[in-house]
Amino acid sequence: MLKYSSTAIPYFKSNLAFDVLPEDIAEDILLNKSCHVDHEGFDLNEIEQEYYKHNGIVLKHDPTWYKDGGQETGANAIIYDWIAQDPDSALIIDHSQVVVKYPIRGSAAYQILKYAEQRPELARLVSTEFKCGLDLCIDYIDKKNWVVEPIVHIEWDFELVSELHESIEYVEEVLKEVKWNKIVPVILEYNKKSKRRKVDAFAQADTRSQLLFGEKSYKLIPTL
């Protein structure tokens, strides 16, 4: 039922030393631009974006993906496209990506801290740690009644790149080997019962993920 292709995810580094911004640019950015840190996700604030771009890190803007109330702007992050559905797939992939967040280290961190006396909240920017994650959401379309039903949604974060790649291999193996004609009716029946019983949304997501992957739906690492 799910026909798809996957893109190989690079084995990226987990630690980078960031170079400083030109001082005149740094002063304006550090004292005036937003420095709110996405506490659970990977969205980058304006200051982080400037340091990432200055250090040659390619960012992607996703208008459909957001955290911490940023619905109107979408998200800016290191985003790798992962799994894409084929046009004739009976199941649809709502989104599928791998995301990365680097802490600002090296000389750039010292540059930021120089301005922390004037703006203490800048300390947030040098208080984060490296993390990476995968995000996959698969839905089912009932074309008779034109109703969309969730099949699975997972967001798994990792501190180690090796753990991310192990999980990517595991997820792709499950997607390849699972008997969709058997598991999809089970999940759809569960959806029907859980809605009738008003089961919590996160509990529903966990159950669907357990049925397919044997793991909970959300395994998130705090940014701070």
Does residue 174 fall inside a structural domain?
A: yes
> What does the H/E/C string look like for 88-142?
CCCEEEEEEEEEEECCCCCHHHHHHHHCCCCCHHHHHHHCCCCEEEEEEEEEEEE
Q: Which range (42-46, 60-64, 94-98, 109-113) has the least confidence?
A: 60-64
The verdict on residue 72 lying in a domain is no
Question: What pLDDT digit, counting tens, does each position of 180-194 carry?
Answer: 999 999 999 999 999
Under a CB-based contact definition with an 8 Å cutoff, are residues 95 and 105 in contact? no
pLDDT at position 65 is 67
* 71 is a domain residue: no
- pLDDT above 70 (res 68): no
Say whether both 88 and 113 belong to one domain. no
User: Does 21 share its domain with 51?
Assistant: yes
In a domain, 201, yes or no: yes
Q: How many CB atoms lie within 10 A of CB 209?
A: 22
Q: pLDDT averaged over the chain?
A: 94
Kindly state whether residues 212 and 141 are assigned to the same domain.
yes
Termini Cα distance of the chain: 40
Domain limits at 173?
82-100+132-224
pLDDT over 60 at 71, yes or no: no
Q: What pLDDT, in 10s, does the model give residues 151-177?
A: 999 999 999 999 999 999 999 999 999
Residue 93 has pLDDT above 50, yes or no: yes
Pairing of strands 218-219, 147-158: parallel
Comparing 34-43, 64-73, 78-87, the range with the smallest average pLDDT is 64-73
Average of per-residue pLDDT across 98-108: 96
Query: Is residue 67 predicted with pLDDT exceeding 60?
Result: no
| Average confidence (pLDDT) over 66-95 | 82
In a domain, residue 39? The reply is: yes
Q: From CA 193, how far away is CA 176, in angstroms rounded?
A: 28
Within-domain flag for 8: no
